[in-house]
Amino acid sequence: VIVAFILIPFKSEMRQEKNSIIGDEYRWPKTIPYYLEDSLEINAKGVILKAFEQYRLKTCIDYKPWTGEKNYISVFKGSGCFSSIGNRRIGKQQLSIGANCDRIATIEHEFLHALGFWHEQSRADRDDYVEIIWNEISQGKEHNFNKYSDKQSSSLNVAYDYTSVMHYSKTAFQNGTNPTIVTQIPEFMNVIGQRMEFSDSDLLKLNRLYNCSSSLTFMEHCSFEKENICGMIQGSDDNADWQHVMKANGGPDTDHTNMGTCQGTGYFMHFSTAEGSVGSKSYLESRTLYPKRNYQCLQFFYYNSGNENDELNIHVREYSDTESNGTLKGFGQIKGKPQNYWQFYQFNLKASNKFRVVFEGIKGAGVSQGGLSIDDINLSETECPHHIWHIKNFTHLLATSSPGTSGKIYSPRFHSKEGYSFQIGLYLNGTTTNPGNLAIYFHLTSGDNDGNLAWPCPWKQGTMLLLDQNPDIRHQMSNQRSVSTDPNKKTDGGYFWDNPSQVGNKVTDEDGNTFFRGPGEGTSSFLTHERLRSRNFINEDSVIFLLTVEGKQYTLGRGESLQLCKKNVCENDGICVELDMKPTCRCAVGEDWWYFGERCETKGRKEDTVITAVVSSVVVFAVMLVITIISTCCLTKKYKKKSKHQGMILENDHHFLY
């Protein structure tokens, strides 16, 4: 990736204005009203909503659709990614998520600007940590390396952070091939410029600036390192106990958190099935928790060294006024052959009252040399990713693969909730044009449900996340990329996202089954090997990808409500949007049906006639495209005029991609 950044200078304003982030007038309320403009790419809209979820998980900042509040952030597709610094109190404050800005860390970065942060290398003390190589900077771009004094900007008593998501990379604005930023500590040369996730210091600063004491969706984390085991308790109506151990007979020999690397630490919980009678059970229950959202994702690592008939059941014990002992509700079960490694599991829970999470171990029939173990639990009020791809012996794979398609491996085939079959392709050593990087691609594959699905596949968003196996979800810096299936995208001989049996290649999997694999969309620069080896991306010589495919909502301007639209009623779940100062309906589209008409009053169906369906959807998308183009132009013009008038300070990041 070549990442470059441009700061648009509004010279006179910059000197006159008190443009520092110091000052309460630049703060937003903790819940920020936002509006997603129609001009945004559909994939970008989905990623923006994911970025908001990271803010909700790791900070006290929340976002809500604008409903007429005085000041709000209007997110639109401008040329590049940019934002002003802090709350300018100008009503509609624009933030651009342009082409190639649809990555979660880029969006987090822009919103950090809006929340009041300059780049990390603009800090008053930056010369102690980096050297700016002025003669390597493209002419006219020097202002991007401005420094702001400690009267203008505060570092909030947090040390300089080379790993900040707000730091430029060494290649920013270079006029040749030499770096423009050299780190005083050489080891950080390839660390600066990360765009994976918030760093711990980014979060510390944001949480200090906004006096955060808790987050909206985080609930609990436990790596069992402390003797109080995070307030977890042994159940009373059972006949065995979970043990707090560093090693279990029969395995595992180490915990998952530290993998035996730290002496004197490294605990996990173990339920032995080597003794006791069949059916004996043991409950491990979390402290009481109080939900806000009524849905939760439980993630943890599990090790089975017992017998394949042993079970781990996941329950929620939910309390109500009439049930003071709580009621147990089951949300999942793990059963299967013992494995000699830590496996990653996740379960969606639904608790709407005070509750505990309950791990129930049950000894099954048969001989056991070991038992069941759990470690590194995280619970948050989020939706779990849908699928897990666990790749073992990863360093061996990396060492023995060559760049290009011969080094490309594929995930198993998974099904989306609506029935689309898909697969992830991973170039371990990069593509031939971009070696040394993980490259990742999302492919549709043929499946049993294909006859019942809409083709070309309309606007499904596939998200591919490489898990940072840091035990605490709040400190994880996972790397992810999303792609959306644009039903109008063309490929040789048809539509890119059409039925894979039409546009794909016939392939044979390891079990000898044949199927069709469609073309893939993704990136050749998912993650450099250097970053891959950092943090906890590889743990126990495994990497874990979490995959999600989400639905139709991105065709609609989700979460948008407008003044003009208050009078306009769209029918059948159509959403009202403002277009040229007129309310306009965006109608709902399903797998094999769609609404049309001024108020979405008429329903069309695939069965009506296939030809009509194809023609209509093409027309609908063509119209959408025209609308997008027009509104982008209009916005750009308006924006230019306004920004001069308002004297905004703009900071512009252009991210170019190869």
Give how far Cα 220 sits from Cα of 28, 239, 362, Å: 27, 27, 24
- The identity of residue 167, as a single letter, is H
Pick the closest to residue 472 from 341, 375, 355, 342 (CA basis).
Answer: 375
> Was 256 annotated as part of a binding site?
no
Q: Which tokens sit at 594?
A: 């769609």
Toward Zn ion, which CB reaches closer, 486 or 653? 653
Judged by CB under 5 A, which stretch of 220-228, 356-364, 624-632, 645-653 contacts Zn ion? 645-653
The nearest distance, CB 174 to Zn ion, in angstroms, is 17
Please state, as a whole number, how many other Cβ atoms lie within 10 Å of the Cβ of residue 479.
24
Query: What does residue 618 show for φ and ψ, rounded to 5 degrees?
Result: -65, -40
Total site size for Zn ion, rule CB under 5 A: 1
CB closer to Zn ion out of 165 and 546: 165
Stretch that binds Zn ion, among 121-129, 157-165, 195-203, 650-658 (CB under 5 A): 650-658
Rounded to an integer, what distance in angstroms lies between the CA atom of residue 52 and that of residue 139? 36
For residue 82 the two structure tokens come to 């940019």
Give the residue nearest to Zn ion (CB): 653
Contact flag: residue 120 with Zn ion (CB under 5 A) = no
DSSP bridge partners of 371: 272
Residue closer to Zn ion, measured from CB, 42 or 101:
101
Q: The tokens of 621 are what?
A: 């998308």
Reduced to 3 states (helix: H, G, I; strand: E, B; else coil), residue 3 is: strand
Answer whether 556's CB lies under 8 Å from 45's CB.
no
User: Residue 537 CB, nearest distance to Zn ion (Å)?
Assistant: 25
Nearer to Zn ion among residue 311 and residue 653 (C-beta) = 653
Minimal distance, residue 197 CB to Zn ion, in Å: 15
> Which residue shows structure tokens 């989905």?
46
Nearest distance in Å: CB 100, Zn ion:
14
CB 458 within 8 A of CB 555: yes
Range 261-300, binding Zn ion (CB under 5 A): none
412 preceded by cis ω (within 30°)? no
Residue 111, phi then psi, degrees to nearest 5: -70, -30
* Residue list 536-595, contact with Zn ion (CB under 5 A): none
Q: In this structure, what token pair is assigned to residue 86? A: 């802090």
Residue 486 makes contact with Zn ion by CB under 5 A: no
Q: Does 653 bind Zn ion (CB under 5 A)?
A: yes
> Which of these, 277, 296, 421, 408, lies nearest to 352 by C-alpha position?
296
Active-site annotation holds for 110: yes
Question: According to the annotation, is 386 in a ligand binding site?
Answer: no
Per CB under 5 A, which region of 337-345, 499-507, 638-646, 648-656 contacts Zn ion?
A: 648-656
The interaxial angle of helices 104-115 and 42-58, nearest 10 deg, is 60
Of the residues 37, 108, 110, 521, which is catalytic?
A: 110
| 244 carries a ligand binding annotation | no
Is 49 or 112 the residue whose CB approaches Zn ion more closely? 112
Region from 480-488, 519-527, 640-648, 649-657 binding Zn ion, contact rule CB under 5 A: 649-657
Q: How far is the CB of 6 from Zn ion (least distance, A)?
A: 10
What's the CA gap between 485 and 465, in Å, rounded?
17
Mask 55-94, x = binds Zn ion (CB under 5 A)?
A: ----------------------------------------
Query: Residue 408 CB, nearest distance to Zn ion (Å)?
Result: 33
Would you give the binding string for Zn ion spanning residues 403-442, x where CB under 5 A is met?
----------------------------------------
CA atoms within 13 A of residue 177's CA, in its CB half-sphere: 0
**Of 41 and 653, CB closest to Zn ion:** 653
Least Cα distance to 585 among 613, 564, 605 occurs for 564
Q: Residue positions in the annotated binding site?
A: 109, 113, 119
Catalytic machinery residues: 110
Which residues sit at the interface with Zn ion, rule CB under 5 A? Answer: 653
Q: Residue positions in the annotated binding site for Zn(2+)?
A: 109, 113, 119
